[in-house]
């Protein structure tokens, strides 16, 4: 995992003129602070740092990778893919590279995609990176969005394993009718960014992330339990089999609602939204890294990951963990 050093607390937001309080934000989201990149730091910078850590942790040389897959909605450029920047920087000279855009569901989509390549026999070792720097697209005067997001990256190496280990099942879904629930209107071919974008006040607003918080919340509390149950059923498992639930870190109320729905004790739910906010595609791999560091991940554990976000998209992976961190 990799996080920028700059911490912005809720009190800092208030001091900078935002009409809010620490108590108001914590009550509604559970967020107390978030990490924010400076102007010189791009998504690839965080992704490269996380990738090098993941390779060292796995004991794998970058030259042995078959693919670098980067899940991001905030790549360094419109093109080329940020995965290509990572591939060159880490020395993965034999690997293909591409980006996958599924917003906050990106890491679950990436794990599912990598699993398919490995299970088919096409590839053996794949680096999956989740990275986003959404704070670069925020209007820091918009209380409905700027309090929610932070920047970060997480990475994992996937490789072939024994039957009934590793990724046991995946579920991916989308509903394009929710396109405008969370979106960045300008910057693509529908609304290119040009000189007029920055001279017209309405167009300038389109260059910032926009979200209907109520729509997203209602979508999440409905889709999260449905998707987790579907993924467990595909793996012939039940909610009582879950050893660790690692969800997208968007809102503490959504996390606690899912844990309560499945009777999961809070010590089996990974929570870091209070410290990092919503880091989009990075939130699940960051949470997995912290779970390992804190001794919550053990060989043989049934781990369920669940992501949801813009698109609207959602995804879940059921994993039988294949290594012990010796903590």
Residues 170 and 293 in one domain: yes
Condensed to tens digits (0 to 9), the pLDDT of residues 294-322 reads: 999 999 999 999 999 999 999 999 999 99
What confidence category does residue 198 fall into, taking pLDDT thresholds of 50, 70 and 90? low
Whether 70 is a known active-site residue: answer no
pLDDT of 199 reads 66
pLDDT of 193 reads 87
Catalytic residue among 137, 146, 248, 251: 248
Q: Which domain holds residue 293?
A: 166-178+209-320
Q: What is the CATH number of the domain that holds 313?
A: 3.40.47.10
Using the predicted structure, report yes or no on whether residue 227 has a pLDDT greater than 50: yes
Residues 12 and 90 in one domain: yes
pLDDT of 194 reads 82
CB 266 within 8 A of CB 259: yes
Residues 39 and 129 in one domain: yes
Whether 248 is a known active-site residue: answer yes
pLDDT of 204 reads 59
185 assigned to some structural domain: no
Q: What DSSP letter does each residue of 244-312 carry, written as one string?
A: EEEE--S-HHHHHHHHHHTT--GGGB---HHHH-B-GGGHHHHHHHHHHHTT---TT-EEEEEEEETTT
Catalytic residue among 10, 70, 84, 104: 104
User: What are the φ/ψ torsions at residue 216 (nearest 5 degrees)?
Assistant: -65, -40
- What total of structural domains would you count in the chain? 2
What confidence category does residue 327 fall into, taking pLDDT thresholds of 50, 70 and 90? very low
Whether 205 is a known active-site residue: answer no
CA distance 273 to 279: 9
Residue 26 half-sphere exposure toward CB, CA atoms < 13 A: 10
Condensed to tens digits (0 to 9), the pLDDT of residues 161-196 reads: 999 999 999 999 999 999 999 999 999 999 998 877
186 assigned to some structural domain: no
CB 306 within 8 A of CB 228: yes
Condensed to tens digits (0 to 9), the pLDDT of residues 280-297 reads: 999 999 999 999 999 999
Beta strands in 160-232 (DSSP E): 166-174, 182-183, 210-211
Residues 145 and 241 in one domain: no
Condensed to tens digits (0 to 9), the pLDDT of residues 201-219 reads: 555 568 999 999 999 999 9
Condensed to tens digits (0 to 9), the pLDDT of residues 115-140 reads: 999 999 999 999 999 999 999 999 99
Residues 282 and 312 in one domain: yes
Tell me which residue of 219, 112, 120 sits closest to 166, measured CA to CA: 112
Domain boundary among 159, 191, 223: 159
Using the predicted structure, report yes or no on whether residue 200 has a pLDDT greater than 70: no
Q: Which of residues 199 and 194 earns the better pLDDT score?
A: 194
Per-residue burial over 210-227, b = 16 or more CB atoms within 10 Å of its CB, e = otherwise: bbeeeebbebbbebbeeb
Cα–Cα distances in Å, from 146 out to 19, 31, 61, 179? 12, 11, 39, 20
Catalytic residue among 70, 108, 251, 278: 278
Report the mean per-residue pLDDT for the chain.
96
Torsion of CA 89, 134, 78, 56, to 10 degrees: 20
């Amino acid at each position: 995992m990799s996080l920028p050093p700059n911490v912005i607390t809720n009190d800092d937001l208030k001091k900078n003129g935002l009409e809010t309080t620490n108590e108001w934000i914590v009550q509604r989201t559970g967020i107390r602070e978030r990490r924010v990149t400076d102007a010189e730091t791009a998504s690839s910078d965080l992704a490269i740092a996380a990738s090098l850590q993941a390779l060292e942790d796995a004991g794998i040389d970058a030259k042995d990778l078959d693919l670098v897959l980067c899940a991001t909605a905030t790549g360094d450029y419109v093109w080329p893919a940020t995965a290509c920047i990572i591939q060159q920087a880490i020395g993965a000279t034999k690997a293909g590279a591409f980006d996958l855009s599924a917003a906050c569901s990106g890491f679950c989509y990436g794990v599912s995609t990598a699993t398919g390549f490995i299970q088919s026999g096409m590839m053996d070792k794949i680096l999956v990176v989740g990275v986003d720097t959404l704070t670069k697209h925020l209007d820091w005067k918009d209380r409905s969005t700027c309090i929610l997001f932070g920047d970060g990256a997480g990475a994992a190496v996937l490789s072939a394993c024994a039957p009934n280990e590793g990724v046991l099942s995946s579920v991916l879904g989308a509903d394009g009718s929710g396109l405008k629930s969370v979106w960045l209107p300008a910057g693509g071919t529908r609304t290119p960014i040009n000189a007029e974008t920055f001279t017209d006040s309405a167009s300038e607003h389109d260059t910032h992330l926009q979200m209907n918080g109520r729509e997203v919340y209602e979508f999440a509390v409905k889709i999260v339990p449905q998707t987790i149950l579907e993924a467990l059923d595909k793996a012939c498992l039940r909610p009582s089999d879950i050893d660790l639930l690692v969800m997208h870190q968007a809102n503490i109320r959504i996390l606690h609602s899912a844990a309560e729905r499945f009777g999961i004790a809070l010590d089996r739910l990974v929570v870091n939204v209070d410290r990092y906010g919503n880091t989009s595609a990075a939130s699940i791999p960051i949470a997995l890294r912290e779970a390992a560091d804190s001794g919550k991940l053990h060989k043989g554990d049934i781990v369920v990951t669940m992501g949801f976000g813009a698109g609207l998209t959602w995804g879940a992976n059921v994993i039988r963990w294949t290594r012990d961190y010796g903590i």
